[in-house]
Each structure stands twice: as C-alpha cells, then as structure tokens.
Amino acid sequence: MSEAILAAEVPGTDTTVPGTSGARQFWRRLRTQRAALVAAAVVALLVLVALAAPLLTALEGQDPTTYHPSLIDSARGGVPIGTLGGISGEHWLGVEPQTGRDLFARLVYGARVSLGVALAATVIQVALGVTVGVAAALGNRWVDQILSRVTEIIVALPLMIMALALLAIVPPGFPRPVLVSLVIGLVAWGGIAKITRAHALGLKNLDYVSAARLSGWSGFHIARRELLPGLAAPVITYAALAAPVNIAIEAALSFLGVGIKPPTPSWGQMLSSADVWYQAAPQYLLLPSGALFVTVLALTLLGDGVRTALDPRAASRLRVGTGRRAERAADRADGASGDRTAASGARTGASGDREEAGA
Amino acid sequence: MRQPSLTTRRVAAATVGLVVAAGAAACGPKDSDAKASGGDAAPHRGGTLTVLNANPQSDFDPARLYTSGGGNVPSLVFRTLTTRNRANGAAGAKVVPDLATDTGRPSKDATVWTYTLKKGLKFEDGTPITSADIKYGIERSFAPELSGGAPYLRDWLTGAADYQGPYKDKKGLSAIGTPDARTLVFHLNKPEGEFPYLATQTQFAPVPKAKDDGTKYEEHPVSSGPYKVVSNQNDGERIILARNPHWSAATDTQRKAYPDRIDVRSGLDSSVINQRLSASQGADAASVTTDTNLGPAELARVTGDKNLASRVGTGHFGYTDYIAFNPKVKPFDNPKVREAIAYAVDRSSVVNAAGGSALAEPATTFLPDQKSFGHTPYDPFPAGTSGDPAKAKALLARAGYKNGLTVTLTHSNSKDFETSPEIATAIQDALKKAGITVRLQGLESNDYSDTTQSVKSEPGFFLAHWGADWPSGGPFLAPIFDGRQIVKDGANFNSAQLNDPSVNDEIDAINKLTDLKAAAARWGALDKKIGEQALTVPLFHPVYKRLYGKDIRNVVISDWTGVLDISQVAVK
C-alpha cells in the first residue's frame, strides 16, 4: 500500500487513487463483501500459523523431521499404526506413512514455505513487472519496442517448463526456498508488465504528467511521483490475484520434485508422496490438499474482493439489489470524491480491458 | 555389461518367463505360502489368460529382446537351447535343457561348448527345427537393424566383434559350427563357464531363414514354443497368442501351457493394473501381471483384506539397491568417509522408505541373498538395524572432519522407491545423526541415468541398483567391479571406476570354472573382498509382491525372475 500512501502526499494524483478518504472507502467497499472478509480472516490465521510454526510444534512436542519407526507398520508397507493415521495426543494429525514423521508439524512448517515463497515471488513479479512496464511506457519508441517484445516472449514462455529447466541446473547448495521464489518471480512477471505499461500509457498523456515533463523533471522522477501512485490500483489487484497462483506453482514444482527439497516440508512435496496413499491412509492426502485448497481459495477470494473494492464500476454494481440500502446511502453521501474515482476508474478499467483482450 | 539401462533390465527380467517345473506335481496348490496357487484339483486346460502390463512387449523379435532367462511372454513363443527351471524358489534359479538334450558340454577350458538338439522339434508350420536355424537366429542378432539384445554374444564368440549380421555378411559366423542338423558347436574367445545361462536368452531361439523378413519379422515371428502369435498390435501393446499345434509337450518338460489363448494388454497405468486385479471382475478374474508390483500404499490396502491377501504372489529376483560412491570426487576418495557413511546408514528407515519389511530386505552384501549367486554373508561395517552414528563420528574425526561435513546425495525424482526422494531422505536423516549434512540433488529419471552412468558427469554419492542377467555372481559383480568394463564414452556401471588387477584376475579365473557351484563360492568370496573397500553401501534387496486374478491357479515363482511364470499358470 506504499503507493497509496504516496498518492496521499502528492496533490493532484487523486484522479486515480483517492487519497485518505479513498483508502477509507476501499475498506468500506471491502467490508461489504462478506466472502472477502472471511477470506481475509482465514489468510490472517494462516499467516499467524506459519509465523508461529516453531511455537505450535513445541506445544505439540514434535518437530517436522524426526522419524518415528515405531509408529508405522513396516510389514504393511509402512502404514501408520492406530486410527485415522495414528492421531493421538502426541501426534495431533497423525504421522506420515513410511517414516512416522509428525504430520501436524510438517503441515504448519509447510505453510511457511507456501506462504513465504508465494509472497516473495509476488514481490519479485511486481517489482520487475512494474519497472519494465513503466520503462516501456516512458521510454522512446525503441525502448518500448524492445521491452514490449521481451515481455511478450516472457508471457509466451511455458511457465512450468521454464521453471523446471531453471530449477534443474542450479547447484544443490543454493537455498531452495529463495531459489523457488526467484524462479517463479523471474518467469511470471510478463502479465503485470503488460498491464502496467497499458495503464502508464494512459496516464502519460494526462495533463499533470505533461506538465511535469514540461517542467523538465527526469523520467525517473515522473515515474515515481506522477505515474506510480496512479498505478497502485491495478498493480495491487494483480498482485492479490497472483499470490494464490504462485502458491499453486510452488506446490506443483515441489510435487514434481524440483521445488523445495527434503527435509524441508512443503505441501506440494507432501502431496507428491501422498497421492498413492489415498486409500490406505486418506488423511495423509487430505491434509496437504485441504491446506492448499483453503489457502488458494482464501487468497483468491481476498484478491477478488480487493479487485472489486478498487474497481469503481464493480463497486457500484455491488450496491445494486444487495438489500443494504442504508450502507449504500451512507457511501453515496460520502460525496464527490467517490464519483470522481468512478470516472477515472472507468478510464483505467477500459484500458485494462483492452489489454486483456489483446493478451 | 554395457546394458542399456537398469530399468530396461528390470523390465526385461520381469517379462521373463514361462517354464513348467519338472516336478510340477509338487509345485502346488494349497499352501499358506503366498507363492502357491490355492487350486485344488489338477490344473484345468483351456480358457483365456489375460496379462495386464504397464510396459509394452515392444520389438517382439528374438534377436532384439533383452531378457533374463528368455523372458516371460517371449518364452511362450521362443524356445531356446537352455532355459530356466520353472520351479518355485531357489530350484527355479537353475538352468535346464530346452531345445538341447543337456545344458551344454564344455571343453576342458570352457572355450568350446557343444549342444545336441532333441528329436522331433518343429516350428509352428510343421517344418523341423535344425541347428542351422539356431545359428541363423544368433547371427541375425548381430545385424545393426536388429539391435537390442545383450552384448555377451559379441564379446564372447570368436571373431564376432565386428560381425554385421547375415544380411551384410553372407558367410556367417565361423564361431558357430553345425556339423549336422542336430549339433551346434560354439567357439569362445575366452573361458566362460556360465555359457549355459547365456543360452537361455531369446537370441538362442531358432529362426527359419526362409521366413526372415528383417525388421518386419517381429510382427509374426515363427514360433517354436507352445503358442504362436495371432496378432501383434502397435509394436507389442496388444499381443494375442494361440496354441501352436506343432509344439509337443513330449519335447518340452518346462512349459505347461494350460490356457488355450493368451491376451497380453500393455500400456496400462500401474495403479489401474492393481485396481483391476484386485476387483477381479469379468475377464480380469483370469488375469496376471508380469511387470507391476504392489507399491507400499497398495500393499497396506491389500494386506488389510483377507481375500486380496490370498491373491498375492511373492517373489525374489536377484537384485540389490545400494549407495554408489565415485572415489574420484572428494571427500569420497577417503575410505574413512565412505566407511563412516556405511556405519551411519539406518537400514530400517531405508527399508521403510522402500515400502517396509514386506517389500525390502536389508542388505549388507552386494550379492543378492541367494545361493545361486554364491551369497556369502558378511558385514564389514556392522551398523545394526538402525545405524551406528557414534562409530561414524569417530571415523570422520579420524578422517579430519571433527566438525562434521556437508555432502551432496544425488537421487532421481521417479517414484520407484529405489532411487527416489523417499530413500534419499531416509539416508539424509540417518547421516544427520553422525554429523553429516546431506544436500539432496534430485534429477529427472532419464537425466539421472545419463548423469550417473557417464564417467564424465558421475556424481560422488548417489543411489543405484543392479539386477543380474542370470542368477550367478558373474553378471552381478563383473559389470560393477571389473576394471576392463569401465566404459569411457557410454553407459558405465563400474561407478567406483575400480580397476584392481587382483579383482580382474579373479573374475577371469572364476569364468574358467564350469562347475557352477564351485564358481558360486568364489563369487561370494570375491564379493566379500570387494565389500571391505566400502565402494558401495548395500541397502536392501527388493521383494516383489504382485496380485493375480481370482481364477488364476498354479502360480509358480522362481528366484530367477521373482515373477509368476505365465507358462505354468492355469485358468480355472
């Protein structure tokens, strides 16, 4: 949200992102979407669990890597002994077949990997994509041509295959979560670059940007002070929707054995060894897949809510026939700033649509 | 020896078989032993047996098949000079006569082998099988367009190294003499006491020259066995076999050939095969598989169900999964480091990772745990069932790694429970207790075999496995430890790149022995001697568990193949 804060400092940029009152309005619009609120709560809980993983496992008295051969039935393929995969006071979610490692500990430590990698990869994507997109919009014809073609190549590259190739050639000593974040970030920034460029091109021709250019400001200065605040809405929206995709990519890479390396637990890796156990030890498969499902769904719903809250047209649609007249009336009373946002938002939205159609 | 890939070898071995035990009356039904069939009366003749397989029976040409003991499906169609004894367990690891009257008469130094064909042998069209047909079949396997078989014939036969097959070189191989229609004489360039084992491979099947149409021969090879090919679709994806009327049980004591038809369907997913066999509905009730084992999770499910558990065949194939070191890579040049790892390994957790005690037996010897290999129990680095980290730490300290060390273990990402991440993680966990930090490097399975089997790219510490072409010490130890078998540009299996004259000389000396029992004892002693150098850390010998349909009777599983022998199976 640093862009939004920036927007508040710079007068005249409130045509796209409203100032302080706009942030308040954003929250108000987000609040009207119950699904997004529940999703936000779930995401907050997941983040908390991930941060507190060492505490939680200490509370349980387990750790994610210790083998417990006595808890599995070696003669029967290593299936956990006991009901529901060996659930007990000591092992809250049972143990892993063939190793006896504690599943609760592996699951909560896996949350760190999933969320951490997704966050880092999203940050890299946003940083790269915004830089390239703004540079293309502000640069001369050649810079734009070259950067746009590079972006198109990146968009056209099959993401999984690129990631597999990159991950396979890096020496095993490189810290794996960092590497996976880098790889996902480096191969999946094309979409955000295209959207940024399209929005920036629209903003570039507005009077206040022309004024800045005429007063001799440098390209960097224009980008930072005049364009970035205006790009906040589409970029935040895109990032919010990219995060759950990144989680799924990390899981897929780990599932294929090129992502996070053992013994660091990750949900994708757990799924990979659990898929054959769906009949003999169903909880082993259900835990990581359920965790992934909930996380991706919550992040997607939250992202969708953010998009709706930032898109004035969608926001105004929200108010139709929802039966919350009082609230809506209150919002309307909020005044002119809202209408202004709607107008400029429509412009931004239109260029975004064009971009999507082109992609 | 320069075999294509171990996976292929394993498949080849898995597709082995069909012989009937000589004392077949004894191999019987009703027995709590899972190997036995559970039938009551004499096996029923007739019906259709379905084989559900993952891997297609591609290149169904006796010149091109790479088999151990003649293969399972191939052996229904191709008879060979000798074959494996179709009997349960250790008795099945013996080599017995097939087309020949005996397993071969060696000259004194085992460089000349003479065979006499049985009387009354016929092809599927009724023409008699002669020694010239067998010679021609062997010659074809040298043709570049019919490649795929084992390299032994080229290595062993005198003057065969550059032979290009009968299409280019009409004169044929002078190393094989056919003094009359029933006699074959093989001249070898060095003593090979194990020649009778080699004569079980499909290259020793007769091929009538008049019917040979080169690469197209595989579509309808001329049968010498109890079944002939009715159709072969998509290069072995579906093969239908029916009775060969000219085959006579009087000349074949090994193959029982109870069903009238055999329908081989391949290209199926392994979980689908196991699901169909456990459901056992319709035609699947009379089904078997020759290449799909029960995995750990499937075993857990099957053992929980009495009906299913009674339909599991258990087999032991001569096979070892081990840690391979490349002593050219530091720190594995230091024997103390290798020994420390040998002490630190926790075989119980490795066995669990491989599928538990029912699917893997812990190994301390490189040779498989079977008499025919000459297995001599030894354990130079006794680590108990769960490793001895204290001893490993002490060794590391002496090697100059007081504060532990960090190494990279290369493994494959295939889900084979052999070289896969589960095994690597178990080793990683055990070595951690000895102060060794293990980083894992996982490679895609093709990349994995290319990388580990090339002298140039071979990592220092990786997971490997080896299966024998026949149940004897020779093909088990020589490719891995014979210095003259280091392949500089190509698939190399001598991972330690050991070239020790005393080992090489002993291998030569044992190859001279024609008394296979005496040879076995010396292979065992050689294994022990090499084992003390810690060039490998044997981990486990896999056990094969396979489901079969509820109408299947007369299940025979030999220690040669570890797989139920199709030639023995009867359909209710």
Looking up residue B446, the CATH number of its domain turns out to be 3.10.105.10
Q: What's the pLDDT band for B551 if we cut at 50, 70, 90? A: very high
- What is d(CA B399, CA B401) in angstroms, rounded to the nearest whole number? 6
Is B67 domain-assigned?
A: no
Beta-sheet strands, E only, within A147-198: none
User: Nearest to residue B448, comparing CAs of B499, B486, B413?
Assistant: B413
Is B61 domain-assigned?
A: no
* pLDDT, tens digit (0-9, with 9 covering 90-100), for B98-111: 999 999 999 998 99
ipTM: 0.79
Give 10-residue mean pLDDT values along chain A (359 residues).
39 44 78 89 94 93 91 92 86 92 94 92 94 90 92 88 83 86 91 91 86 84 82 87 90 86 88 87 92 92 86 61 47 46 40 37
- What is d(CA B509, CA B489) in angstroms, rounded to the nearest whole number? 28
Q: Are B426 and A99 in contact (CB under 8 A)?
A: yes
CB contact under 8 A, B421 and A280: no
Is B398 domain-assigned?
A: yes
Distant-in-sequence, close-in-space partners of A252: CB < 8 Å, separation ≥ 6: A160, A259, A268
Which whole number is the average pLDDT over B123-152? 94
Q: Does A295 touch chain B (CB under 8 A)?
A: no
CB contact under 8 A, B425 and A79: no
Domain containing B350: what range?
A: 323-355+372-538
Checking if the pLDDT of B413 tops 70, the result is yes
Q: Does A170 touch chain B (CB under 8 A)?
A: no
User: Nearest to residue A253, comparing CAs of A118, A97, A151?
Assistant: A118
Select the more confidently predicted residue: A217 or B242.
B242
Which whole number is the average pLDDT over B474-502? 92
User: Nearest to residue B339, comparing CAs of B63, B145, B537?
Assistant: B537
Q: Which residue of chain B comes nearest to A170, CA vs CA?
A: B441
Which whole number is the average pLDDT over B527-553? 95
Q: How far is B413 from chain A (nearest CA, A)?
A: 6
- What is d(CA B299, CA B27) in angstroms, rounded to the nearest whole number? 25
Q: Does B270 touch chain A (CB under 8 A)?
A: no
Residues of A in contact with B433 (CB under 8 A): none
Is B209 domain-assigned?
A: no
Q: pTM score, two decimals?
A: 0.82
Give the pLDDT confidence score for residue B40 in this predicted structure. Answer: 52
CB contact under 8 A, A263 and B428: yes
CB contact under 8 A, A76 and B304: yes
* pLDDT, tens digit (0-9, with 9 covering 90-100), for B307-341: 999 999 999 999 999 999 999 998 999 999 999 99
Give the pLDDT confidence score for residue B468 in this predicted structure. Answer: 86
Domain count, chain B: 1
* Among A75, A173, A278, beta carbon nearest to B439: A173
End-to-end CA distance of chain B: 42
* Among B300, B444, B447, beta carbon nearest to A77: B300
Is B240 domain-assigned?
A: no
Give the pLDDT confidence score for residue A262 in this predicted structure. Answer: 82
Q: Is B312 helix (H, G, I), strand (E, B) or coil?
A: strand
Checking if the pLDDT of B39 tops 70, the result is no
Q: What is the DSSP letter of B446?
A: H
* Among B352, B429, B447, beta carbon nearest to A263: B429
A vs B, Cβ pairs < 8 A, gives 110
CB contact under 8 A, B442 and A173: no
Is B29 domain-assigned?
A: no
Is B548 domain-assigned?
A: no
CB contact under 8 A, A99 and B421: no
- What is d(CA B45, CA B487) in angstroms, rounded to the nearest whole number? 49
CB contact under 8 A, A168 and B443: yes
Q: Does A173 touch chain B (CB under 8 A)?
A: yes
Give the pLDDT confidence score for residue B29 in this predicted structure. Answer: 36
What's the half-sphere exposure (Cβ side, CA atoms, 13 Å) at B227? 30
CB contact under 8 A, A65 and B353: no
Select the more confidently predicted residue: B23 or A310.
A310
User: Nearest to residue A99, comparing CAs of A288, A267, A263?
Assistant: A263
Checking if the pLDDT of B52 tops 80, the result is yes
